[in-house]
Amino acid sequence: MDTVKQQQRKLLLRTFQLAAAVLAILAGGPAMAQERIRISSEWGNVTAELAENEAARSLTRMLPLTIEMRDHIRQEKTGNLPSPLPEVKRQQDFAAGTLGLWGPDDFVIYYKKGRVPQPGITILGDVKGDVSIFDRPGPSPFAWKR
């Protein structure tokens, strides 16, 4: 009798393990490391860690690319992507090093912290390194690659 109950428990445990594995696969598998990209200009190179969202994944699929970026109000560099990215959740606060979107293809890199008005920005990632390479007047091309 105990053997039958033990076998039933083992079978039930295996069923739960299998169900958990299937759910993990359907949810995108186990947690993966965030995608890192390289941003380069005549002023230096930095690495950025991309956010875990569909807009950041779409940006990754566009790479490599070069974006002509302009300085805007001495806190950010702005430029246009070659095609729009999907809409995802937005937020108003940003830190120095935030990569974001104003609109579907209006790209921004903040080199100072701050807050934007509603509807906010889509967060694409965060620069890991010295953001002072962006704190330069005038336009400049920035190369983006994996």
Residue 75 gets the label, from left (phi > 0), alpha (psi -120 to 50) or beta, of: alpha
Evaluate the omega torsion of the peptide bond into residue 30 and state whether it is cis, within 30 degrees of 0: no
Q: What is the pairing mode between strands 140-145 and 36-41?
A: antiparallel
Specify the pTM. Answer: 0.76
- The Cα–Cα gap between 28 and 66 comes to 30
User: Mind listing the pLDDT tens digit for each residue in 29-83?
Assistant: 444 468 999 999 999 999 999 999 999 999 999 999 999 999 999 999 999 999 9
Among residues 69, 57, 64, 61, which one has the least CA distance to residue 122?
57
- Long-range contacts of residues 42-46, Cβ cutoff 8 Å, at least 24 apart: 42/140, 43/133, 43/136, 43/140, 44/130, 44/133, 45/129, 45/133, 46/127, 46/128, 46/129, 46/130, 46/131, 46/133
Tens digit of pLDDT for each residue in 76-122? 999 999 999 999 999 999 999 999 999 999 999 999 999 999 999 99
Q: What is the pLDDT of residue 8?
A: 63
